[in-house]
Amino acid sequence: MARYTPPEQSKAGQVFDIAVVVVAIFVALWLPLKLGLAGAAKSIDALDAKTWEALGQNPTMASIWEKLGYTPETAHDIIQNRFHYIIDWPTLIIMAAVLIGYFIFLFRASDREYRDVINEKFDDK
């Protein structure tokens, strides 16, 4: 197999590629934050009666909350802020499809590139 000679990349091209990578990193990590897609999906189950008993705290737990500087009123939003694990099947299916599709593409495209690497490396010998 003929040895592949890659083109030399100009300085401007290198700068452009660095910019692409930086933009991609910020879009991937910053955009979910900006769009509110990152972070925990929790909500507060509000209670009318804000007492340690109503919040499900026994005397030992209540004494620790107080030691930490909390009252039933200030602890309410922490204790009642809960996850609600309802499986959203369409979203789960989309997530699974994206993940599986991603890995299939990765392994198949990598294998095509890998065959070139192996052919060039070992056909030289």
Partner 1 sequence: MTIAAEPAVQVQGDRVSLLRVLGPAHVWALGVGIVLVGEFTGWNFAADKGGALAALIVCWIVGLLYTSVAMIDSEVTSTVAAAGGQYAQAKHIVGPLMAFNVALFLVFAYTMLEVSDAILLGDTIVAKAGVEGLNHNSFIAATIVVLAWLNYRGVLMTLNVNFVITAIAYVSIVILFLSVSPWTQGAVLKLNELVTPGNALPYGWIGVIAAFQFGIWYYLGIEGTTQAAEEVRSPARSLPYGTMAGMITLLIAAAMTWYVCASLMPWEYLGITYYPLWDAGKLTGSALLENLLFIATLLAALASANGCINDAARAWFSLGRDRYLPTWFSAVHPKYRTPYRSILFLLPIALAFAFIADLNQAITFSILSGVLQYTFMSINIIMFRKKWPLGSIRRGYTHPFHPLPAIVLFCLCVVTFFAIFLGFGSQLIAMVAFYFLISLWFHFYRYKFVRRGAQFTMPWPKPQGY
Residues 27-66 that bind partner 1 (CB under 8 A): 27-33, 37-42, 56-58, 60-61, 64-65
Q: Where do we find the tokens 């990193």?
A: 25
Residue closer to partner 1 by CB (options 48, 58) is 58
Letter string b/e over residues 59-92, b meaning 16 or more CB atoms within 10 A of that residue's CB: eeebeebeeeeeebeebbeebbeeeeeeeeeeee
What whole-number distance in Å separates Cα of residue 36 and Cα of residue 40? 10
Closest distance of CB 48 from partner 1, Å: 19
Residues 46, 48, 49, 122: which binds partner 1 (CB under 8 A)? Answer: 122
Among 46, 49, 68, 90, binds partner 1 (CB under 8 A): 68
The site for partner 1, by CB under 8 A, has a size of 73
Q: Residue 17: in which H helix or E strand, if any? A: helix 11-34
**Residues from 73 through 112 that contact partner 1 (CB under 8 A):** 75, 78-79, 81, 83, 85, 87-88, 91-92, 94-95, 98-99, 101-103, 105-107, 109-112
Q: Which long-range contacts (CB under 8 A, 24 or more apart) does 83-92 make?
A: 83/40, 83/41, 83/42, 84/41, 84/42, 84/43
Q: Which of 37/49 has CB closer to partner 1? A: 37
